[in-house]
């Protein structure tokens, strides 16, 4: 009976998408290879909790191998006008022996990812990992925890502590050296497998009545 009563108001259909990528920023994770060269790879499973970056990095990637070995990374955020950079890195791996499923999907092994991306590697300050000069934001980070092991059923979640934030100065609020202006920062967003930018601010946020400094740990 209840079903009959509520049915006319139903607005959804049941669907079963293969992926649930509703929109997250694209990051470029820079790591150090065992031979001392650098790797750089795009990931969009990324969100933030306080000073932590939480990334979904597949266990078969070169990035994961490097994170396991060194515990260090630079998480660079391209802007929405740098989609071409991300597309140049798409379908590449720095892994010396790419997994068969990646080769079947058209991935190619590329040793010089910074060169491939057209980005300039500059030294970071805290971690021994190069940082791309051209991305507006670059976060130096150290691994805190791997939340699942290869071969387990858990999602490949890596938690990192951000230890230094680099920003192009034009992103900062005038007179506020520790505030990124969200009206100036234009992240590149991946929704499902496509790339987007953000629209301008759609409404004033009630949450923003809280001073951002109140969140500092
Ligand atoms: C826009 C974009 C987003 C991606 N997001 C992820 C992701 O969140 N997690 C992941 O494991 N791979 C993701 N990939 C695929 C990796 O880039 C791919 O596994 C790559 O081979 C990793 O490089 P590496 O082996 O040199 O570390 C993404 C690729 C692109 C182009």
pLDDT at residue 6, as a whole number: 59
Enumerate the domain spans of the chain: 20-192
pLDDT of 102 above 50:
yes
Nearest ligand 1 atom, CA 63: 27
Nearest ligand 1 atom, CA 92: 21
Nearest ligand 1 atom, CA 41: 23
Nearest ligand 1 atom, CA 65: 27
pLDDT of 112 above 60:
yes
Q: Return all residues near 78 (Cβ < 8 A) that are at least 6 apart.
A: 26, 28, 85, 86, 135, 136, 188
pLDDT at residue 5, as a whole number: 56
Taking CA atoms, 11 is separated from 6, 7, 8, 23, 85, in Å, by: 10, 9, 8, 22, 39
pLDDT at residue 4, as a whole number: 54
Taking the centre of ligand 1 as the mean of its atom positions, its distance from the CA of residue 54, in whole angstroms, is 15
Q: Can you tell me the distance from the alpha carbon of 86 to that of 186, in angstroms, rounded to the nearest whole number?
A: 15
Q: What is the pLDDT of the chain when averaged over all its residues?
A: 96
Tokens coding 67? 């994170």
From the CB of residue 21, how many other CB atoms can be counted at a distance below 10 Å?
Answer: 14
Taking the centre of ligand 1 as the mean of its atom positions, its distance from the CA of residue 120, in whole angstroms, is 20
Q: Can you tell me the distance from the alpha carbon of 114 to that of 161, in angstroms, rounded to the nearest whole number?
A: 24
Taking the centre of ligand 1 as the mean of its atom positions, its distance from the CA of residue 186, in whole angstroms, is 21
Indicate the top mutation candidate among 27, 61, 189 to test ligand 1's pocket, ranked by most ligand atoms within 8 A of CB: 61
pLDDT at residue 2, as a whole number: 47
Ligand 1 pocket, residues with Cβ under 6 angstroms:
26, 39, 41-45, 56-58, 61-63, 86, 90, 93-95, 107, 190
pLDDT at residue 1, as a whole number: 45
Nearest ligand 1 atom, CA 40: 26
Q: Tens digit of pLDDT for each residue in 13-58? A: 999 999 999 999 999 999 999 999 999 999 999 999 999 999 999 9
| SS3 label, residue 204 | coil
Q: Tens digit of pLDDT for each residue in 121-174? A: 999 999 999 999 999 999 999 999 999 999 999 999 999 999 999 999 999 999
Taking the centre of ligand 1 as the mean of its atom positions, its distance from the CA of residue 31, in whole angstroms, is 13
pLDDT at residue 8, as a whole number: 75
Q: How confident is the model at residue 3 (pLDDT cuts 50, 70, 90)?
A: low
pLDDT of 114 above 70:
yes
Third-level CATH fold of 20-192 = Pnp Oxidase; Chain A (2.30.110)
pLDDT at residue 9, as a whole number: 86
Span 87-101, average pLDDT: 96
pLDDT at residue 217, as a whole number: 85
């Amino acid at each position: 009976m209840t079903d009959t009563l509520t049915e006319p108001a139903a607005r959804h259909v049941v669907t079963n998408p293969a992926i649930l990528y509703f929109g997250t920023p694209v990051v470029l994770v820079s790591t150090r290879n065992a031979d001392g060269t650098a790797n750089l790879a795009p990931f969009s499973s990324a969100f933030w909790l306080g000073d932590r970056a939480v990334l979904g990095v597949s266990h078969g990637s070169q990035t994961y191998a490097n994170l396991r070995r060194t515990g260090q990374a630079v998480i660079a955020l391209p802007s929405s006008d740098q989609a071409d950079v991300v597309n140049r890195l798409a379908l590449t791996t720095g892994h010396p022996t790419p997994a068969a499923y990646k080769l079947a999907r058209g991935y190619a092994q590329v040793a010089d990812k910074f060169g491939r991306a057209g980005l300039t590697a500059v030294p970071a300050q805290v971690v021994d990992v190069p940082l791309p000069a051209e991305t507006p934001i670059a976060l130096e980070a150290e691994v805190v925890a791997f939340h699942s092991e290869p071969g387990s059923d858990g999602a490949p979640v890596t938690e990192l502590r951000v230890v230094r934030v680099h920003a192009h100065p034009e992103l900062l609020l005038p007179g506020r050296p520790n505030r990124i202006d969200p009206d100036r920062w234009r992240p590149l967003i991946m929704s499902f497998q496509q790339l987007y930018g953000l629209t301008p601010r759609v409404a004033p946020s009630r949450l923003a009545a809280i001073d951002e400094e109140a969140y500092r740990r």
